[in-house]
Amino acid sequence: MTLIEAVLYIAISLALVVGGLVFYQQASLQSRTSSVVRTYAALITEARIVAGEASSLTATNFEEILYARGSIPPENWDATRPAGQRLRLPFANMYASLTVAYAVDGRTDISLFQHNMPVGLCSRLIVTSRASTNYASGAINVFLNDDDYSGTLTTIGLHDYLTSPTLAPSQAATYCRTADRNGNGLVYTQMTFRTFD
């Protein structure tokens, strides 16, 4: 084997390894994103059912009620965490919580709070068409902020799905990147859905 052949062999091998790693990363992200979508679809559906059963149910951490009803799979629940941080997702340090608010007119809103959310996941989950995300219909709005807001929510991004029901992937990506002020790739989002379609 000549030196040129050896260099060519090494270059092709490296290209295959790098290509394989990129493919694996994309497949892993897609798999975890699909898991989050399935989890949220089930949670929002169940939250709508539970909210419809009670006329004045109030719960700061509504996911606790859903877990007690068996609506949250054990792999998505971490009872060792404080209340409001127990709904775990397949991304490092990411967790979510739900609240339900009853309005005077009888309508109910469900808010989904997502903490330490990767920007790449954010740009996939806030996309809407006719106020429907890929896991729930009836989206009202989304607030975005950096992950280190420390409890004081100064909204970096706001999209109102009622006035502009479609949010394209490129727009969603811009919102999410803008919210990541500290550049660590993580954001906080609050999405609100109606309990009716």
What is the reported pLDDT for 11? 66
- Report how far residue 127's alpha carbon sits from residue 174's, in angstroms, rounded to the nearest whole number: 11
180 contacts 146 by C-beta, under 8 angstroms: yes
Model confidence pLDDT, tens digit, residues 82-134: 988 999 999 989 999 988 887 666 677 889 999 999 999 999 999 999 999 99
Cross-strand partners of 43: none
pTM for this structure? 0.81
Domains of the chain: 3-194 (3.30.1690.10)
- Of 158, 157, 92, nearest to 121 by C-alpha is 92
Among the listed residues 122, 54, 66, the one whose alpha carbon sits nearest the alpha carbon of residue 98: 66
